[in-house]
Amino acid sequence: MKQIGELFQTADWKAEKHVPVIEMEAKVKKGENIKMSVTVGKQIAHPNTTEHHIVWLEVLFFPDGEKFPYHLGRFEFLAHGASTQGPNTSTVYTHPEITAIFKTEKSGTVYAYSYCNIHGLWTGSMDLKVE
Active site residue 52: yes
Which of these is catalytic: 42, 46, 53, 80?
46
The pLDDT assigned to 76 comes to 97
* Degrees, nearest 5: CA angle 5-64-11: 35
Per run of 10 residues, the mean pLDDT along the chain (length 131 residues) is 78 79 97 96 90 97 98 96 94 95 97 95 96 95
The pLDDT assigned to 13 comes to 66
Which of these is catalytic: 14, 52, 106, 129?
52
Task: Show Cβ contacts of residue 128 under 8 Å, excluding neighbours closer than 6 positions.
Answer: 24, 26, 27, 28, 34, 61, 104, 107, 108, 109, 110
Active site residue 46: yes
All structural domains of the chain? 4-130 (2.60.40.730)
Pairing of strands 120-130, 27-28: parallel
Active site residue 71: no
* Degrees, nearest 5: CA angle 26-102-66: 75
Active site residue 58: no
